[in-house]
Copies of this chain bind each other. A is one copy, B any other.
Amino acid sequence: MKQKENQLKAFLQKGHLHYMPGVSVDNVIFGFHENQLKVLLLQANTGKFWMLPGGFVQKNEHIDEAAARVLQTRTGLDNIFLQQFHTFGQPRRSSNKVLIETFHSLEVPFDEDHWLLQRFVSIGYYALVEYDKVHPEPDELSRTCTWHDLDRLPSLLLDHKDIIMKALEELRLRLNYQPVGYNLLPEQFTMKNLQSIYETLLGRELDRANFSRKILSFGILDRKRKQFSGGAHKAPFLYSFNKKKYFRALEKGLGRDF
């Protein structure tokens, strides 16, 4: 892992040439597995704290691109809908403990003015991705990258817990306007699958029949002839998202205005 170490060193020493100062991006990446909502987290090389997959904004890069790049490098996923939901800017957001330990362990000289030790404002994005398609990949500063149950989060760095909670809050609000599920489910899925997602995101149970009626009324699903089998009991229909209608709804909203 000499190579990774060298990359990290270069990043620490020359990052200020490539990245904007003071601005970072943090992604709350939601996945869904065994009827549980999961969040992708990294564990710092030094110390026990976990953190959100985040990164910095290249000097000539759109912040949305930066978020997409972070998502791509951590999960291997491309072309995923990322929603910017809030920017976090308390004055003492940054704790430099992890960084300073890293400097020491790599024997990289640094001073107080080092770009990474300054205050950062972080722009939060969330994404909903298909659990099975993700290949979690730690970054230079972390040793692990794994999923965590949303209701059993480990100790998190800084305000990262707040960021996750805010993401969930905003996501719940947007559930009324934006369809959900496209990157979260496989190509074909049952109504029950989709309902589970909504239930988990909302944190409460929904009536089966009413849910189905409502979702179908959005007109974003195509029903397949093929039936799912393998589970016990009656075979449910399989559905897929009508990509065209789904993305129109994503842009134009689901039409629940004042």
Contacts and interface: CB of A to CB of B under 8 A. Distances in A.
A12 B57 CA distance: 25
Contacts of A87: 63, 84, 87, 123
A241 B96 CA distance: 46
Interface string A41-61: 000000000000000010111
A20 interface: yes
A23 to B, nearest CB: 5
18 contacts: A22-B23, A57-B89, A59-B91, A59-B119, A62-B89, A63-B89, A63-B121, A64-B89, A66-B89, A84-B87, A87-B87, A87-B123, A121-B123, A172-B257, A173-B177, A175-B258, A176-B256, A256-B256
A121 B89 CA distance: 13
A17 to B, nearest CB: 12
Ranked 4 nearest A-B pairs via Cβ? A63-B89, A87-B87, A60-B91, A21-B21
- Copy total for this chain: 2
A231 to B, nearest CB: 26
A119 to B, nearest CB: 6
Contacts of A173: 177, 253
Interface string A171-189: 0110111000000000000
Contacts of A57: 89, 121
A89 B177 CA distance: 24
Interface of A: 20-23, 57, 59-64, 66, 84, 86-87, 89-91, 119, 121, 123, 172-173, 175-177, 198, 202, 206, 253, 256-258
Contacts of A123: 87, 89, 121
A121 B177 contact: no
Contacts of A172: 257-258
A87 B123 CA distance: 8
Contacts of A256: 176, 256
Given A20-B119, A23-B121, A176-B256, A86 B89 contact: no
Given A20-B22, A23-B22, A57-B121, A176 B62 contact: no
Contacts of A23: 22-23, 89, 121
B84 A257 contact: no
A176 B121 contact: no
Contacts of A60: 91, 119
A35 B132 CA distance: 54
